């Protein structure tokens, strides 16, 4: 099963019952082909960037779902024929994004605590700190010789007055 992301826009002039019915039809197209909805978020009513099929506004939804690979063409065809859908876009998610999507489901609470460090991470300094230390050592060896300040240091010598 592949994981997909779908952004779709439903007509804004629908009643709540008609809107629910249109959303049920969107979901049923996936479920009747062996798919499962991972999450669906209503993003709200927004003004369209340009008029689409005589509509200036639409209700935006973002949905993540799983579906067998051979069925996605049938879902796209059904969405094209859906009279209440103004626009839709379906994208296949990369495999590294799948664990993130499973955390988005309402049953899994999100935590804001940082992950615990392993013993190997505690012993070794992060690469950023090593790079900074290496830069400081290199800069210390490049100091200018002599009494005159360097232009590289940000100090320019004052011009001498010639009489």
Domain of residue 90 covers 2-95
How many other C-beta atoms lie within 10 A of the C-beta of residue 29? 20
For residue 148, is it within any domain?
no
Integer angstrom CA distances of residue 56 from 13, 45, 88: 10, 11, 16
- CATH number for the domain spanning 20: value is 3.30.70.60
Judge contact between 22 and 82, C-beta under 8 A: yes
- As given in the structure block, the two tokens for residue 100 are 């993130």
Which of helix, strand or coil describes residue 79?
Answer: helix
Q: How many domains does the chain have?
A: 1
Please report the DSSP string for 141-153 in residue order: HTPPPSSSPPTTT
For residue 8, is it within any domain?
yes
For residue 115, is it within any domain?
no
For residue 72, is it within any domain?
yes
For the stretch 64-76, pLDDT in tens is: 999 998 899 999 9
For the stretch 111-158, pLDDT in tens is: 334 444 444 445 554 444 444 444 444 444 445 555 555 555 555 556
pLDDT band (50, 70, 90) for residue 28: very high
For residue 109, is it within any domain?
no
User: For the chain, where are the E strands, in sequence order?
Assistant: 2-11, 36-52, 55-67, 85-92
């Amino acid at each position: 099963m592949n994981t997909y992301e779908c952004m779709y826009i439903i007509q804004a002039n629908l009643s709540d019952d008609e809107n629910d019915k249109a959303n049920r039809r969107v979901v049923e197209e996936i479920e009747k082909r062996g798919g499962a909805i991972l999450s669906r978020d209503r993003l709200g009513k927004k003004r369209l960037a340009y008029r689409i099929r005589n509509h200036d506004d639409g209700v935006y939804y973002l949905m993540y779902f799983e579906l067998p690979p051979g069925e996605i063409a049938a879902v796209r065809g059904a969405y094209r024929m859906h009279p209440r859908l103004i626009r839709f876009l379906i994208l296949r998610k990369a495999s590294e994004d799948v664990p993130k999507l499973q955390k988005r489901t309402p049953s899994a609470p999100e935590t804001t605590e940082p992950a615990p460090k392993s013993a190997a991470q505690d012993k070794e300094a992060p690469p950023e700190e090593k790079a900074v230390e290496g830069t400081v050592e290199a800069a210390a060896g490049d100091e200018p010789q002599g009494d005159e300040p360097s232009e590289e240091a940000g100090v320019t010598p004052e011009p001498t007055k010639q009489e």
